[in-house]
Chains A and B, each alone.
Chain A
């Protein structure tokens, strides 16, 4: 059996094992071990298990993952999102569709403290959706905006996915994080515009409120409570952008700052600390376990030469880079149907990275595009994870179909954003190129 055949068989066996419920990290390691044995013999197979997991994990850039997770968990568990939403509702409440717009920007703002998409969705689902429903908003719009805006968590820095991508693609993690800023803001803007257009066309979806007038002191108090967010996000983003601190150090400082802020807001209870640490540790361990498996699998595939053959084939056909970029969207759409986004990312990178490399595609730009694809996958059926999180939060009040219908408005906005990002790569590359 030649090496290419072993490579193809390896991929097939991996898929079968995953379908049969073998946890992905174990399946990746199993195929890598047996595959390496088949290609090179028992000693190399033993050697990858002996050294790679340790050498990969004891990696300075990767330590940014637990640090950013801790910062986001603390910010989320201490009620920062709730405060941000209240303040923005004050600002936008007067306009038609104002609570939806406030929800949108609260999500974008929280994304600047948190690297995860589902946490944002769950929080906004608990606080913003009931408020929109009682204000007479259409359930589709209310749940749609809160589900969709969660995806910004992985685009706007900090972002766990960007860090993981940067390590596998061997690009600067700092640049990768900064590259997400403009696309994230663009997406938030496009969402707000979409809300505005739809409530203008169909005013019944979002009745205007006669908001109870608040005293100036009350308004100031509510706005004041959001101070930690600019401090956290400007501290982290500013530190990385200026090059004063590495992403890991920014993450550690962010986590310390989040601890301090939570204490100052008198929210640092034992429960908040325990919950935040639990989320941080279990997420870190499960992400890194899959990442280690993916690394072993990458080495095995490289030994078979399969990725280079595919890349060479695509290169020989003289395929236009645009076709490759659009082609990958199909791949991610399919994988996104049954797998968590980070799993899809780690699973596909070993195969797609050599292809991008051969086609001379900017790794930072394509990284942002891939993360966008993955996040859009969190909104599309059958496995739109954010939509299911939202369904879990709202319970029987809103049927699943209605949430998917509400999300479709934002998918239209996403299509426009993606077209812009693909046509004008400068939106992605402008800021990192200045660094």
Chain B
């Protein structure tokens, strides 16, 4: 189990890093476009499509699993703080199960959609070229899928009575 949690941690961190790279690219790409517009009087081709469909999707979805590992998803804690340890554990495992089911549904349905867009070859018409959009759909599937796997692992850890924190286990 320990090897698996460590592997998960490293993989999700890699996805998170990919999100960080997307932020930097987004900044540089928009900056180049503004510069090109003000100096040469015309915008670059396909900036808007790349920024919104690729960078933005990568920043928002690829890091989701690592955010889950780090406990960064917004949760209301005030009502359950006073619960005894065993009850708290039941509540946490149940909430992880609910989250896992939803993440699974999101993964499945975004994959169905991505498959459809891949078959039809979704693209944006930029008059000079046809800019393919369908690969971006798979970034979403990757982000949701990674979150689903992380939540499943956390559920298993919880049911097996092990500590839930993947980060700590990866360190140890």
Chain B residues near A242: list those with CB within 8 A.
none
**A58 adjacent to chain B (CB < 8 Å):** yes
Known: A49-B106, A252-B31. A57 touches B56 (CB 8 A): yes
22 contacts between A and B (CB under 8 A): A20-B94, A21-B75, A21-B76, A22-B99, A29-B102, A30-B101, A50-B109, A50-B112, A53-B106, A54-B110, A54-B113, A54-B140, A57-B60, A66-B23, A253-B30, A285-B62, A285-B72, A286-B67, A286-B73, A288-B60, A338-B78, A339-B76
Number of A-B residue pairs having CB atoms within 8 Å of each other in the complex: 164
Chain B residues near A340: list those with CB within 8 A.
74
Contact between A282 and B61, CB atoms less than 8 A apart: no
- The size bracket of the interface on A is 35 or more
Known: A281-B63, A284-B59. A58 touches B75 (CB 8 A): no
**B20 adjacent to chain A (CB < 8 Å):** yes
Give the segment of B3-11, B45-53, B159-167 that binds chain A.
B45-53
Chain B residues near A256: list those with CB within 8 A.
27-28, 31
**B153 adjacent to chain A (CB < 8 Å):** no
**A423 adjacent to chain B (CB < 8 Å):** no
CB-contact partner of B80 in A21, A27, A281, A284, under 8 A: A21
Contact between A26 and B56, CB atoms less than 8 A apart: no
Known: A63-B51, A252-B26. A21 touches B77 (CB 8 A): yes
Chain A residues near B136: list those with CB within 8 A.
54, 58
Known: A54-B57, A67-B27. A21 touches B91 (CB 8 A): yes
Least CB distance from A97 to B in Å reads 35
* Interface of B (DSSP majority class): helix
* Interface of A (DSSP majority class): helix
Contact between A252 and B27, CB atoms less than 8 A apart: yes
Least CB distance from B125 to A in Å reads 16
Chain A residues near B28: list those with CB within 8 A.
256
Contact between B72 and A278, CB atoms less than 8 A apart: no
Least CB distance from B71 to A in Å reads 9
CB-contact partner of A280 in B23, B66, B112, under 8 A: B23
Q: How far is the CA of A63 from the CA of B34 in the complex (A)?
A: 15
Q: How far is the CA of A46 from the CA of B60 in the complex (A)?
A: 21
**B79 adjacent to chain A (CB < 8 Å):** yes
Nearest B residue to A54, CB-CB? B140
Chain B residues near A59: list those with CB within 8 A.
52, 56
CB-contact partner of A284 in B31, B60, B76, B109, under 8 A: B60
Chain A residues near B66: list those with CB within 8 A.
282
**A189 adjacent to chain B (CB < 8 Å):** no
CB-contact partner of A18 in B31, B61, B76, under 8 A: B76
Q: How far is the CA of A91 from the CA of B67 in the complex (A)?
A: 42
Apart from A19-B80, A46-B109, A67-B26, 13 more pairs, CB < 8 Å = A17-B95, A20-B80, A20-B94, A24-B75, A26-B99, A49-B106, A54-B110, A66-B23, A66-B59, A278-B20, A281-B19, A289-B64, A343-B74
